[in-house]
Amino acid sequence: MEQTLLGGRYQVVRRLGSGGFSRTFLVTDIHLPNHPRCVIKQLKVQDKDTGTLDMARRLFDTEARVLYQLGNHPQIPSLMAHFEEDQEFYLAQEYIEGSRLNRQVEEGKPWSETRVVLLLQEVLEILSFVHRQQVIHRDIKPSNLIRRHRDGKLVLIDFGAVKQVTSSPLLDAETGATNITVAIGTHGYMPNEQYAGKPRFSSDVYAVGILGIRALTGMHPQRLEEDPVTSEIDWRQHAPTVSSSLAAVLDTMVRYDFRDRYPTAQEALEALQNLPNPLHGLVGTQIYQTWMKGANGRGPTFPDDDSNTAVGPTETSEPTAFADDQDSTSLFPVDLAYSNGKGAASQPIAAVEANVSDFQPLPHRRSLVVGSVLGALAIGLVLWRSGLTIALELNGGGVAIPFQAAAVPTLTTDLGLLLPPEEKATFLTRQGDRLLNQGRYPDALATYNEAVEIQPEYAAAYLGRCKTLIALKRPIEAIAACDDALAYSTYYPEAVRSKGNAEEQQGKLLAALALYESTNRLMPAMFEAWLDRGRVLQKLGRSAEALAAVDQAIARNRESAEAWTVRGEATWTLRRYDQTIIALEKALQLNPNYGPAKELRQQARQTLGR
């Protein structure tokens, strides 16, 4: 099989893994320029009778439909192709290069509370989008979450176990057959209703809560006991220092009865965001703070510091749509060992906290770690509430002072100074993204430049620099920055599209069009590239093609006033005036102040007398 082309276009590079129901392969697409990599998932059909093939076809059609629907989210792999060949079924999907979360959630090495909250928040943000599409994932667990190398964001994978929520009756009206879903998921992360084949949105919430408890306790969920009376999970004894507010949220997420849980991921996310910790919304998902050195070279010892744990070595996945084992299921991960330049893997930094109620002086030591001390400096209380640990020591007069007598860093801007180079570059790039979104272009550019100085091969920082230079109307420099991003990341559709934006800004419309078309091939789910393509085609006077492209954009995102306006422009040129009015009314419904739509509607009314 490895010597043939799958689907007539995919050349197998190597097998990534296999499970009870599927195999996955890393492949190259020989029909596209530069032969980009993607992943092929093959359903293994052992019995080729008609009934089995029909069931396999239904499962894969469902997964393909859901993946196409969900692929618009930047943290869900996009679907490239879906095909059947010789009674075998294949999905071609975006290749995610990164590190599986189960390589970081290790047995016996609990995470700090801040780190757990940041993880839960990011997972729930992705899952909220999934639930809004009326989809239940059913297999949330560490091995189905990848920390993407390119930008440090989590990616949710393996939608082979998905269930779409429908209003279909329990019994088929014609056949009388029972429409009951089989139990699919992974032991330890499945609530009781999912075992019974009746998953709900809150079943996913349960799995995310279990993920948080696993990280917080350092224990696999199958090792956690249940209360013999209530059947609730008895986990708090394994995390004695957890704050009561976070514990209450986790307890609600993993209630035995689904009616007592948060009904969807959005409600769980809101509860998490309401925790008394303002740092959660300010710092990116990989920012784990600690002060590593104290006065005179002494540093505090942290009970939950897992800094001796290296990022896992390169590893392939164990994919299958149905998981019975502890944590073996995933679809596309390739774990990367981040080098420290000396051939060894770098070490992740753990967040460190201390609760006021748990504070006790350590015997035989002059230095101590404390979250807040009644009567201490006001800044201590602010930092404690934010989740940042403060390192103090006693001076000659018995007064507690900060280690090194250093100025306390500003939480939202200087926290990255506490990180090692690899994570500092990620922190700075995320900070640059925020500044760019706020329209603070010179500050954003300076931040991206600093990230590049720290990590010269970090593609995400070059992309941020490219976007900022476009915003500053410096397209030639922007193209150079996008080329740098592409030099360090061979598959980077966002950089291809941004380079097209820079070419368009220079008036080089044909060059921009070629780049947008390339982006469409590389990532068909990217709404923005289809819109860019339609806009440029309309500028070139190719309105019929522009209409086709912008319809692709609208199919992926119906909430864009610009997309509806471009559709209005194309249909106006094609003299489809009724469609023009409808498109412009939709654009102004979405954004009543959108200038291009207002101007075109006024022109249409004057011309048509409406």
Residue 178 is given by DSSP the state B
The Cα 374–Cα 400 span in angstroms is: 12
Give the DSSP H or E segment for 505: helix 493-505
Phi-psi label, residue 153: left if phi above 0, alpha if psi -120 to 50, beta otherwise: beta
Which is the catalytic residue, given 49, 86, 139, 260?
139
In the 3-class helix/strand/coil scheme, how is 527-554 assigned residue by residue?
Answer: HHHHHHHHHHHHHCCCHHHHHHHHHHHH
CA distance 317 to 335: 9
The CA distances from residue 128 to 190, 197, 542, in Å, are 18, 22, 39
Q: What type of residue sits at position 279? A: L
Q: Bridge-partner residues for 234, per DSSP?
A: 225
Contact between 423 and 349 (Cβ < 8 Å): yes
The span from the CA of 172 to the CA of 243, in Å, is 49
CB atoms within 10 A of CB 498: 29
The answer to whether 217 and 239 have CB atoms below 8 angstroms apart is yes
* 3-state SS class at 96: coil
Task: List 226's β-bridge partners, or say none.
Answer: 233
Radius of gyration of the chain (CA): 26
Judging by beta carbons within 10 Å of its beta carbon (0-12, 13-18, 19+), is residue 466 exposed, middle or buried?
Answer: buried
Q: Can you say how many angstroms the Cα of residue 471 is from the centroid of all Cα atoms in its chain?
A: 25
Q: 417: closest CA among 501, 340, 349, 322?
A: 349
| 460 CB-side CA count, 13 A | 22
Give, as one character, the DSSP assignment of residue 264: S
Q: Which amino acid is at 56?
A: A
Distance CA 465, CA 86 (A): 47
3-state secondary structure of 79: strand
- Cα 230 off chain centre by: 35
Query: Does the annotation mark 335 as catalytic?
Result: no
Please, which residues have CB within 8 angstroms of residue 401's CB and are 6 or more apart in sequence?
Answer: 392, 393, 394, 395
Give the integer Cα–Cα distance in Å for 537 and 552.
Answer: 13
- The answer to whether 490 and 34 are in contact (CB under 8 A) is yes
> Cβ distance 84 to 111 under 8 Å?
no
The DSSP letter of residue 542 is -
Are 203 and 191 in contact by the 8 Å Cβ rule? The answer is yes
Which residue numbers are catalytic?
139
